[in-house]
Structures are given as C-alpha cells and as structure tokens.
Structure 1
Amino acid sequence: MSYPFFVHGQRSWLWLATLCALPCAATPGIAATVVTLPRVDISTAEEDASVADSLLNAAVVDKSSARMSRLSSPDASSLFRNQPGFSSYGGGRLANLPVLNGMADDRVATVVDGVRINPACPNHMNPALSYIDPDSVETATSVAGLTSVSNGGDSLGGTIDVERADPRFARHGKILFTGRARGTYRSNGGGYSAAGSMTVANDTFSLRYNASYDQSEDYSGGGGIGKVGSTEYLRYTHDVTFGVHKKNHLLVLTFGQQDAPREGFANQYMDMTNNRSTYVNGKYVGDFNWGTLEARGHWQRVNHAMNMLDDKGGHSATKGMPMNDDQRSAGYSIKATIPLARQHTLRLGSSFDHEGLKDWWPPLEGSMMMGPGTFNNINNGHRDRLGHFAEWEAQWTPRVSTLLGFRNDLVMMNTGNVSPYSWTGMMSAADIKAAQEFNSIKHGRTDVNFDVTALTRWKTTDSLTIEAGYARKSRAPNLYERYAWGQGAMSSKMIGWFGDGNGYIGNPNLKSEVGNTASITFDWHDPTSAQRWGLKVQPYYTYVHNYINVRFVKALSATTNQYMFENHNAQMYGINTSGHFTLWNTSRYGKGEVTGVLNWVRGQDKVSHTGLYQQMPLNGTLGLNETVGPWTGRAEMNFVKAKNTVDSLRNEPRTPGYALLNLNGSYNWKMMTLTAGIDNVLNQRYYMPLGGILTSDIKTSRTPMPGMGRSFNVSLSATF
C-alpha cells in the first residue's frame, strides 16, 4: 500500500492537488463491520476468525459505496452510511453524530486510533469522528447491538472504531519512499478537499507525514429551497507518525494537530468559531510465547470556541455570545490475548480515561444580559473512568463456538462551584437562584457499572450461520447531563446536542443507564468461495433501565420549551437486513452485483409514553455495482419512509418520505484514479429525519433541517 504526501494551501494549491490525488487502497478487514477500502467480503472468508473480531451483526462496506462516501463528504461518519443499523444526525457537515440501532452519540463508544474522545462542547460540535478525515482512515469498525466487552464499555448502542494505517517499513537493506495525494471538488457549496501523505522508512524505522484540508461555503437545499445558512466549514489537519519495528514488536507514536477555524450549525443557536486539537497517541504491539500484548496511551488538549457566524448576525464584537471550552484528556489501555489451548482463548484488559473540562462564557461588551462577569458553566469538571474486562472464547466443535465476557467500569465525576453573568439584577434571577442551589450541594458522583456479553455461533450448514446472544451494557451520564445547571431561558438553550431549539438543564442525581439487549443474526451465504450471494437478517430487542430522557419544566416561547434530564425506562426494537447478489461475472462484461440494506427501529419511553427522540424511520438502500477492467461504477437509491412516530414531549417535527438517486464511477490507470459522481441526481427536496430544526426560523415555526440538493463531485488521485 502507498501512503499520501501533503498538499495544502489556498484554492490554487487545491487545484494542483487534484492532479495527483489518491485512490482507495485494498485492505483486508478482520473485525466486525470493518469499513475496508475497498471491500473485502467476510461472509465466508473470515469464518475461521475469532468470534469477538467477526461478530455477525457486522457488514463490510463495499468498495463502490466507500468511494462514494469519500467523494460526497469530508465527514468520516459518512464512511458508515448504508450500513445495517447505522444512521447519523447533526447540523455541522464535519461533525455528524453516529446512531446505532436507535441509540445516539454518547450511547455509542466512538474510538479514534484507540482513543475514546468525548465532545468538548455543550452542543457536541466536536465529536470523535470530526478529528480524522476520511482519507486518513485505514479501517473503520462499527458493531451495532451486541458487542464484546473487549470492544469497550460505558456505552449501550455499540462501538465505532476507526484507525489510521500502521507505519510501513522497507525490506532489509532498502529505503522506502512512497506517498499519495488526493484532491476533490464538490459543486454544491463550492467545496474543496485535499489530502496527502509521504513516508520514508527502512526495515526498522518509519516516518510518515499526513495532512488534509477541507473547505466549503453554505450548501443549497434540494427542490429549489435555496441556500441553507450556517452550513459552511473550514478544517485542516497535520500529523506525524513515527514507527519502530523489531522482530515481533511494533511501537508507534503519532503527534498531530487539527484546526477548524469555522463550522456552521444550522440547527443550533451557535456556530463553531474555532476548534484546535493537539494530541499524542502511542501504541505498542508485541507477540510473545504466551500470547499477544497491545498497549496504548494518549494525551489530548482541545481549545473550543463558539459564537455566531455572519449568517446569524454575530460578526460584530458587540453581538453574538462567546462561549469557550478547554478540555484535557489522557489515558491508557492494555489488552492481552492468551491462547489457553487450541480451542480456547482468554482476553484480559484494563483501561483508564480522564476527561477534564472547563466551560465558561465570557461577558459580551455592552450587553445587559451577558455580563458584566463570566458565566461559569462547567468549572474544572472531570470525568474519570477505570475499566477492566475478562473475555473467554471457546471453539467447542468445528461448527459451534461461544463468547463470554465480563466488564467493570468505575466512573468518577466532580466539578467546582459555578457563577452566573451577574449575582444581582432581575435579568439573571433564574440563573442566580440556580447557581446558589448548585453550589450548596455536593457535586461528586461515582457510578459502579458492569457489563456482560454472552453469545453462541452455530454453523448449521455450509450456507447458514446463526449467532444469538445477550448483552448487559451500562453508561454513566456525561458532564453536561449531570452538571449543566443554568435555568434561565438563554443559558438552558445553550445546552443540548439535539438540534431542536429547546433548553436543557442537568440533573446531578442521574443514575447510570443499564441496557439489556437480546439479538439473533441469521447469515445465509454462498457455500462456495465465489461468494456470489449473501443475506443477513438481525432482529433485536433492548430494554433500558434509567434511560436518560427529559421531563417538561416550562414553556420558553411559542415554539420552544425547557426540559430537565431525568431517568426513565425505555425500550427499542427493530430489524436490520443486508444482502448482495452477483448478477453476472464474465471476462467480457466484468462483474455486476446488486446490494441492499433495510433498517427499521422503534423506540418508546415507558414513562412519558412517547416515541424516543431522533429515531430513524424505515429506510433502505438499493445499489448496483459494476466492475469492468479499470472501470467501476455504482448507481444507488436511498429510500426513507415518512417520519410520523416522534417524541411529542419535545415537539419533534415530522418529515415526509423521500427517495434519492446517486451515481458514481471511477477509472484507474497506472498510478492515477479519476472519480466522479452526482449526489441527489433529481435535485429532490427532502428534510433530514434526524437533522433537528432550522434555528433561523425558530421564532415563527419549527422547520425541519433541509437536505442537500444536487451536487456534481469530482476527484483525482495518485500514488507514487
């Protein structure tokens, strides 16, 4: 495989980058739901892989779909589109929040390069997947529903894990110099992206430099909606990876920095006006006589700022509302894999994650409401999680295997005293009282959680494998769910990652969520090595004790309300289906394959008796892939049913159903690849079911977030 070299600068440099951009390199995937670029089917090829690393509630994103995702969006979450059980939401085009089986955001364990990254923002504008560009992703793993305890804790819905490539080394006595580059243009919004990397290595040491640049103006909605304000973005990243390889040992250190000077959020009152992340990650992998040891360590600092961009009228120093966050995180993880016998494997692990957060809102010059002092929202808060797990995998017969795991997570949280903008005056009366009450109580909280996963895989025939199991998963509240104390109309509206315009108040007495999931997966597949067809069907049911939802506090206006986070009981059930079938495979006409995905989920709050918020309606994708020599192409239809089951307590908007046609194709010659595509070919008008509402219309209506209209995209890539 080749790795990219750096292309960065103004728009003229971006056009030069399109002359030498990079193709997707083939990478075999061995983990559950590995987004392998390009696709490597695992339906039969990986049946000998471990159960923990190849769960059947998994799907591998095919080459054409992955290429279309990278061409269409600079958001790494787009790599998971069209996968069973996956959806996403958010108003920022670089920062969509993942949803697995109806559970979103913090309920999904999102890991980047072995690091569990928590958003450092009261609106979650900087989620974990926003810290890596799609071109840097070598493998991306998502496991919806049942997950092994070795894949993480403190989550309910599943795990998403993306990784950069390990360093590349030369043969003994040789010097390796390789790289790649990619440039992309997207017509809707006038978006540009460039990414590249360069590697120099011998047989022991490897040094790689990687960088990317992404920029776009506001996009236009489909069906003549026109420009959708606060949808622009700008981001650039740099990282250096140093690797040492000696016999059966690998040591990797990555130093990086990402800057996002601006990103608009159409469904929030605020925009992101700066986000700088500086980080160091380390990884060690060693093979020993007793087994394999993997150890990781990380440190990261995030400086985050919010205000209003020009679309919201916040350009002047005396307008808008400045909000700042300073987050420091650090931690380690250790995992040992020990073969006990030919049929038994033991995995043991330990991890620690520290999150320190200071969230403060400086006074605004000349404002009676936002001043004269500083609003301290989270004052030196911290959330520390110490976890341990043990997992036993057994191969009882050639056709029957089991996985049993236990995990304990100790979550310790605390924060300091807080303060409103002013301790006097009627304008701050609600926040003054709330601050006094908050400061009068003990803030420290400790949650002791444990998880269990038990499943059985049975290869009933050469063409049918069944995997059934149960999982008990736990999640402690995040810092904002527990410590966001402001009860004024304005201060509470600044809290919330739902894009609904409402206000939210934290609750220090929240308990940890406990989810109990039962699931069964039927995997029918071609028994031959040709893998001409395959079908997976996965029904599931989850009951959550102490699900963190909300209770109504008061109306703030004709269109917005105020809520307090509160523990309820809830249930989610659904079915994920995916399949593929080879229509033809000849030397003359190449290979043609039809693929399909169908997802359905329903969530219900057992206390308020409403639908759960932001549940995706019935949706699916039907695609036709063709490969003829150096040419590959894909035609894709996305179908989404009307969203009529909503959370009426939070005034969640209903959205009409829609169907979108997308086309994509690429041609590869020598070291260059040209890729082009059209998103939303018919320029269909549609509204995103999980996109929240346009805050620009919040005073008069609750208009759902419009989807993007037609876009012509082109990318040129090269390797050397």
Structure 2
Amino acid sequence: MSIEIKLEALFMPFFYRISPLTLAILFSFPAAADNIEVIEVRGENHKHSEDIGAVDRLLREQGVDFSSAGGVSALPVMRGLMGDRIKVLIDGTDITASCANQMNPPLSYVSANQVQTAQVVAGVAPVSMGGDNIAGVIRLNTIAPEFTDSSQLSWRSGGISAEYRSNSDAQVYAADARIANDWLSFSYSGSFEDAKSYEDGNGERVLDTLYRAENHAITAAVKDDEQQLAVKLTYQAIPFQGYPNQYMDMTNNESFGATAIYQTAMGNSDFSAQIHWQHVQHQMGFFTDEKPGMMPMDTEADDYSYQLRWEIPLASDHQLRVGHEFFDYRLEDWWPAVNGSAMMGPNDYINISDGKRQRITGYLESERAWSSQWLTSTGIRVERVQTNAGEVQPYNRMPGMMGMPNLDAAAADDFNNANRKQSDILIDVSLLTTYAFNDQHTLSIGMARKNRAPNLYERYSWGRSPMATTMIGWYGDGNGYVGRIDLEPETAHTFSLSYRFLAENGLWDIELAPYYTRVSDYIDAEVIGEINRSNEPAGERNVLQFTNVDANLYGFDAYANARVMESGRFGDWFMQGKLSLTEGERHRSNEALYQIKPITASFSLLQQWQNFENTLSYEWVGEKDDVDTRRLENTTASYGLVNLSSRWRGDNISVGLSVLNLFDKYYEEPLGGVSIAEFKANNAAGFRQLAGAGRSVNLAVSYVF
C-alpha cells in the first residue's frame, strides 16, 4: 500500500489567545474544495478481504505508533502524544475508555475486517473532524451499505478468513456477509481472536500477554432517491486479556452499542444526523498464574451522543460546513470488597460515583479552491465541557498497620468536601492551505489551536494509599497516580509544513514534513511520594499527581517512494523509506516527557509479480536515552528487525505467509512500559522494560464468495 502525506496539520505556536480580530482574519480565507479531506489525510487504507484481527497492524502501516497494553487494546501514539489526546472516531462517533487503566480504548471495539476505510490525520485535524483532542484524528468507517439494481433481495458478497501466528499460538477467524436489493441492505461482520503469551527473541515467555476477544456488528440500511438510513448494532466480548505492564488484568469486557445515521438532501445542501449509544460492563482482576493476585474492580459506563451536520455549497468551488454535536458520558467505578480481607473491606471502594462528562459543541468550516493549484480550509469550533462526580468511600476507616493513618479515609473526606463540578470552554481554530507550484512541487501549511479537557480519571481519582494509587494510570510505568479536580484543559498550538517533490517521470517522490507543537497546561505529573509494594529496594516507585505544565513537541517525518523496475519476467519492483524523529520536553526545564519514541527508520522492497506480492522490510529504532525521571522510565537500546512477507491472490482466494522478526532479535519496546508481571514473579529483578516479540511465522487464508 502506498501512503502519501498531502497535508499534515495545522497551527500557529504564537496564537495563545483568540481575539475577535483574529477570527475575522481567519474567516476572510474561505477554504478548500471537496477533496480537501483527502489532502489532509496522512494515511488512508481501504478494505482488503484479508485484513483481520486487531486494527493496530492496519494503523501501523499509516504511521501510528502504539503504547503496549493488552493484545487488542494498545493505545495509539501520534507525534509523542498518547491515548485520548488522539480522537478516535468509529463511524464518526466517540467511544470513551471506561477503565482506570484505559484497558478498553476505542480501537478495541472494532476488528480489522470490519473496517471499510481507515484515515489518519497527523497533527491536528480540521474542526469538522472532531474536537477534544490535541494530537490528531484516527477515523474508521465500518458502515458502507451496498445496494443492487434489482428489487429482488439477493446475496451480495461474503467472505471468511483465518490466520495462525506461531509466536503466541494465536488463532484469528473472521467472517463477512451481505444481502441487498435496490432499497434494502443487510450486512454482518465479526471476528474471534485467541492467543497465548508470546516469547521474546531469547525464547523466554513474556508473562501475561495472553488474550481472547470477539467483535460482531450487524448493519441494516434503507434508501430511496433522496435519503438513506443506516443502523448498526454491535457486540463485543473480551473474557480475558493480560496486561503485563499493569498491576491488574482484564477479566471481562462486554459491550453493546447502536449507531443510526440518516442522510438526505435539503435543497442544494446535504444534511446528515446520527445518534449513538454504547454500554460497557468492564471488570479487572486476575485470571492467570502468570500474574497471580486477588482483587476485583468493576466499571459500568454509557456513551450517548448525537451529531447534526450541514454541507452547503456557496459556489462550485466553495463549500460551507456547519455542525452541532452533543456527547454525554456516564461512569460508575467501584472495587468490590474482598471477603476475609482486612485491607480490602468490609465496604466497596467507590472510586468514581455518578461520574459525568458532557460536551456540547458547534463548529463552522469553510473550504475553497481558489484555483486548480491553491486550496484553503478554515474553521472554528466552540465546546463547553462539564464534568462532575458524586461522593466516594474507602474500603474502611480503620488505622493502618502499626497505627499508621488511613490515607484513603482522609482523602475521601477531602474529596467529598471539595467542589467537584468543573466547566471549561474550548475554542479550536484551524487554517490549512496547499499550493501546487507545478506537477512536481507541492507545499502544504497547517496551523491550529486545539484543546482537550481532562478525563474523569485525571480529575477524580482520589485514593492516596499505595494500593489505590497503583490502580490508576494507563502509562504502564508501575507508578501510582492521584487525580486533581482543578486541572486545566490542554491547549495545543501546532505549526506544520509538508513539502512534496514528484519526479518529472513520476518514478519517485519524496516528502518532508517538519512540525512544532506548544502545549499550554499539558497534563503531566509531579512526584508527591514514594511507594514500594515489595520488600526489595528494586521495587521502589513514585506516587504522582496529575498537574499542568507547559510542553514542547517537535520533529519531522520524511518519506520516499520509488519504482525501481518494471519487468514482464521479474515483475514490478518498488522501494519505500521513512525516517521519523520526535522530541518532547517540558518548556523551560527541557526535561523529557514520557514515552517519546526515539528516532526510527524503515525501508521496504516490494515486488508485484503476476498474482504474488512480496515484501522485504527492515525497521531500525534508535537508542532511547531521553527518559522521564519522574516516572522512572527505563532507557532502551537500539535494534533492527527484518520482516518477510508474501501473498498470492486469486479470483476468490488469497494466501499469505510472513515471517516477522526473521532473525529472532531480542529487543525492548521503547513504548512498552515496564513488565509488572515479571516483577511480581521476581521482585529482586526490579521493573524491567517490556520485551518485544521474537520470531513468528504467520499463515493467513481468505476466501471471498
């Protein structure tokens, strides 16, 4: 798949306040043409029948990194920013991670075979693509009804796929089916995945990396000449998923969801409306002797939303987008008492009670093609975000061992006496422009101001005991975290460039994309104590409280593509290369931010010959030595991995064979966090970095009918 960066995103690092004059100036540039959406997209992937399993493999091809977690629940990272700093939209809807460790992030609710198109916007997206984010947008579309020309309801298409991976003994199965006529369409897509714990390059089992997951979706759609209505019902079940870099594991995650999308023409404009609901029941605990323990944690949550959108053509080359959206998130998070435990009882620990996070927003976006060479897009989005939570309680109010104070009892009293209702006004502004000097040279400039309000766990996690604090946090670092009610929203000002050169003969092209982001009130952490949940000196960790600081993130991406050879005998040969560098640090002090990926480079040689597609790739990751000392982040050594893959495609069947990490190289994941499972098995070893997977031979088969 060829990936092109047309326009990154967006912003002026010196727009710290948006005045009426600034807005007037921005809106004097009315904006880009209908295809501007493609111009912004850093990566775009369309469905292949053989795409199955977790979607992270699909998105890695488009430049998204991942912070290690469970087998299907890794957290996306873009340009040094992780988790819900990235807006993940599935069919245009928000899904909130309902877990103190973000074990059920949005991407875990969809499998690769359900994805019809996937788009990644690096940097900051246009305001119509979503608010409440500062890092960019991942947009997955699974609703794509197909109709026929006949009134007779008939079979449209179907497919089954399977894959086996030798490392982890993983088995993945997927199925799709569609029936339709000229006004009615039904489709089903689902997947099942089961894996044991994988082995590293030394042949050692990486403890607690086993998992099992399934996702199912049924979509029905009706249409006439002027309108269309589609309704999707979803179900997910994850009975277990190990988390080597967390103190807890997932022991169940069950979710039901419904999305309805209505589209119609209104005069000369297009109107769309959609509503969404999702309910999740989530449990954490222990299920494997690879990381034993005894403690339950329960979560129930609901996402409700509606979105209204108008697209109004003001001229053939000028389009206006107007939108209104409402999101309502409700959360209950409690830790049931453990029978017979003096510390974890006799009451349930109420972590977040009656948690609420509501967003109401409106946006205006104008796009215009000033000429065949010059496109611009400007937009503004205004949001009001309100959060609140009810009163909480500790397990008990008994003094600690040897008369020590009950930290959680005192913290609960302080929390219950505090004013917990918070309200924030967020103003996003974006300006994008692309100018093609000629067929060979294209320059894109993006500037934006983007905001993200704190999530409920950042604001309302209140416990202070070692056990309570280490249950909070999605960083995989082994530390404990405490919330702060009065956190300010993050405000990011981003400026990025993208220059592309296409050779006159069209056989090769290069792209350079530097960027700079200044984040005011970046939500980081400060040390407020120390803990040790073992008797070993190597078990020392920090207690951290969320806090606001200013931060800088900057770097560049460089891409190169070339057609090497065209041969009837040996096929067509291509080369692709990428170089990425990201730096992240606190403003003024220049202290490193957490989980910034070191410099990386990759090179691929591709051959397309008859029905075969063969790829040899090499990925090099540099040494990670700029680390966050507050989180006691580990350094990692540089490494290089070689991968081989081959796929044969026939009319109805495709067969793929790949060997990942061909030379069985041992390496540690720079974004992997620490292995808490290994620490629990051997306290004296301390918190080692999570090891990556060793060699795996994978076989995949897909059949379309």
Question: What is the letter of the counterpart of residue 461 of structure 2?
Answer: A
Residue 7 of structure 2 contacts residue 444 of structure 2 at CA under 8 Å; is this kept in 1? Answer: no
1:190 aligns with 2:165: no
CA distance in 1, matches of 2:260, 2:591: 45
The 1:79/1:246 distance shift into structure 2, 3 A limit, reads same
Identity in percent:
32
CA distance in 2, matches of 1:198, 1:662: 32
Which residue does the alignment assign to 1:300?
Answer: 278
Which residue does the alignment assign to 1:591?
Answer: 572
1:425 aligns with 2:399: yes
User: What secondary structure does 2:602 align onto?
Assistant: strand
Residue 115 of structure 2 contacts residue 142 of structure 2 at CA under 8 Å; is this kept in 1? Answer: yes
Give deviations 1:628-676, integer Å, cap 9, x for gaps: 1211111111110010111112111001111111111111222111111
CA distance in 2, matches of 1:620, 1:366: 54
Give deviations 1:211-263, integer Å, cap 9, x for gaps: 21100111111133x11111001111222110112124221101111100000
1:495 aligns with 2:472: yes
How far off is 1:92 after superposition? 0.8
Residue 201 of structure 2 contacts residue 665 of structure 2 at CA under 8 Å; is this kept in 1? Answer: yes
Does 433-442 or 388-397 show the bigger shift?
A: 388-397
How far off is 1:292 after superposition? 1.8
How far off is 1:303 after superposition? 0.2
CA distance in 2, matches of 1:653, 1:313: 21
Which residue does the alignment assign to 1:687?
Answer: 668
How far off is 1:182 after superposition? 0.3
Which residue does the alignment assign to 1:267?
Answer: 245
Which residue does the alignment assign to 2:200?
Answer: 221
1:633 aligns with 2:630: no
Which residue does the alignment assign to 2:294?
Answer: 320
**Which residue of the other structure, out of 606, 624, 633, is the alignment partner of 1:643?**
624
CA distance in 1, matches of 2:467, 2:294: 12
Residue 6 of structure 2 contacts residue 444 of structure 2 at CA under 8 Å; is this kept in 1? Answer: no
1:126 aligns with 2:104: yes
CA distance in 2, matches of 1:608, 1:357: 37
**Which residue of the other structure, out of 34, 37, 58, is the alignment partner of 1:53?**
37
Which residue does the alignment assign to 2:27?
Answer: none
The 1:62/1:205 distance shift into structure 2, 3 A limit, reads closer
Residue 208 of structure 2 contacts residue 244 of structure 2 at CA under 8 Å; is this kept in 1? Answer: yes
How far off is 1:61 after superposition? 5.4
CA distance in 2, matches of 1:711, 1:216: 13
Within 5 Å, give how 1:66-81 maps onto structure 2: 70=51, 74-81=53-60
Which residue does the alignment assign to 2:516?
Answer: 541
Residue 49 of structure 2 contacts residue 702 of structure 2 at CA under 8 Å; is this kept in 1? Answer: no
Within 5 Å, give how 1:512-551 maps onto structure 2: 512-526=489-503, 531-551=506-526
Which residue does the alignment assign to 2:696?
Answer: 711
How far off is 1:513 after superposition? 0.6
How far off is 1:32 after superposition? 7.7
Residue 33 of structure 2 contacts residue 369 of structure 2 at CA under 8 Å; is this kept in 1? Answer: no
Residue 51 of structure 1 contacts residue 393 of structure 1 at CA under 8 Å; is this kept in 2? Answer: no
1:578 aligns with 2:559: yes
**Which residue of the other structure, out of 138, 141, 144, is the alignment partner of 2:116?**
138
Which residue does the alignment assign to 2:20?
Answer: none
Within 5 Å, give how 1:167-316 maps onto structure 2: 167-177=145-155, 178-224=157-203, 226-314=204-292
How far off is 1:519 after superposition? 0.7
How far off is 1:535 after superposition? 1.6
CA distance in 2, matches of 1:450, 1:81: 31
Which residue does the alignment assign to 1:39?
Answer: none
CA distance in 1, matches of 2:7, 2:186: 30
How far off is 1:57 after superposition? 6.0
CA distance in 2, matches of 1:470, 1:77: 28
CA distance in 2, matches of 1:27, 1:625: 11
Residue 32 of structure 1 contacts residue 53 of structure 1 at CA under 8 Å; is this kept in 2? Answer: no
1:395 aligns with 2:369: yes
CA distance in 1, matches of 2:3, 2:478: 44
How far off is 1:607 after superposition? 6.1
How far off is 1:364 after superposition? 1.0
How far off is 1:311 after superposition? 3.1
Alpha-carbon RMSD across the aligned residues, in angstroms, is 2.1
**Which residue of the other structure, out of 320, 326, 344, is the alignment partner of 1:346?**
320
**Which residue of the other structure, out of 338, 363, 367, is the alignment partner of 2:341?**
367
Question: What is the letter of the counterpart of residue 191 of structure 1?
Answer: A
Which residue does the alignment assign to 1:103?
Answer: 81
Residue 561 of structure 2 contacts residue 576 of structure 2 at CA under 8 Å; is this kept in 1? Answer: yes
Residue 32 of structure 1 contacts residue 141 of structure 1 at CA under 8 Å; is this kept in 2? Answer: no
Which residue does the alignment assign to 1:38?
Answer: none
Question: What is the letter of the counterpart of residue 438 of structure 1?
Answer: F
The 1:292/1:301 distance shift into structure 2, 3 A limit, reads same
Residue 111 of structure 2 contacts residue 190 of structure 2 at CA under 8 Å; is this kept in 1? Answer: no
**Which residue of the other structure, out of 393, 414, 420, is the alignment partner of 1:443?**
420
Residue 44 of structure 2 contacts residue 117 of structure 2 at CA under 8 Å; is this kept in 1? Answer: no
Question: What is the letter of the counterpart of residue 539 of structure 1?
Answer: P
Question: What is the letter of the counterpart of residue 89 of structure 2?
Answer: V
Does 544-553 or 519-528 show the bigger shift?
A: 519-528
Residue 313 of structure 1 contacts residue 320 of structure 1 at CA under 8 Å; is this kept in 2? Answer: no
Within 5 Å, give how 1:446-525 maps onto structure 2: 446-525=423-502
The 1:52/1:268 distance shift into structure 2, 3 A limit, reads same
Question: What is the letter of the counterpart of residue 216 of structure 1?
Answer: A
Residue 33 of structure 2 contacts residue 367 of structure 2 at CA under 8 Å; is this kept in 1? Answer: no
TM-score normalized with structure 2 length = 0.91
1:414 aligns with 2:388: yes
Question: What is the letter of the counterpart of residue 455 of structure 1?
Answer: L
CA distance in 2, matches of 1:663, 1:67: 20
How far off is 1:445 after superposition? 0.3
User: What secondary structure does 1:311 align onto?
Assistant: coil
CA distance in 2, matches of 1:604, 1:28: 29
How far off is 1:77 after superposition? 2.0
User: What secondary structure does 2:383 align onto?
Assistant: strand
Give deviations 1:339-386, integer Å, cap 9, x for gaps: 101221111111111110000000112111111110000001010111
For structure 2, the 5+ residue unaligned runs are: 9-31
TM-score normalized with structure 1 length = 0.90
The 1:27/1:703 distance shift into structure 2, 3 A limit, reads closer
Number of matched residues?
668
CA distance in 2, matches of 1:67, 1:542: 38
Residue 82 of structure 1 contacts residue 597 of structure 1 at CA under 8 Å; is this kept in 2? Answer: no
Which residue does the alignment assign to 1:88?
Answer: 66
Question: What is the letter of the counterpart of residue 116 of structure 1?
Answer: D
Which residue does the alignment assign to 2:584?
Answer: 603
How far off is 1:608 after superposition? 5.5
Residue 540 of structure 1 contacts residue 574 of structure 1 at CA under 8 Å; is this kept in 2? Answer: yes
Which residue does the alignment assign to 1:564?
Answer: 545
Within 5 Å, give how 1:327-342 maps onto structure 2: 327-342=301-316
How far off is 1:28 after superposition? 12
**Which residue of the other structure, out of 699, 702, 719, is the alignment partner of 2:687?**
702
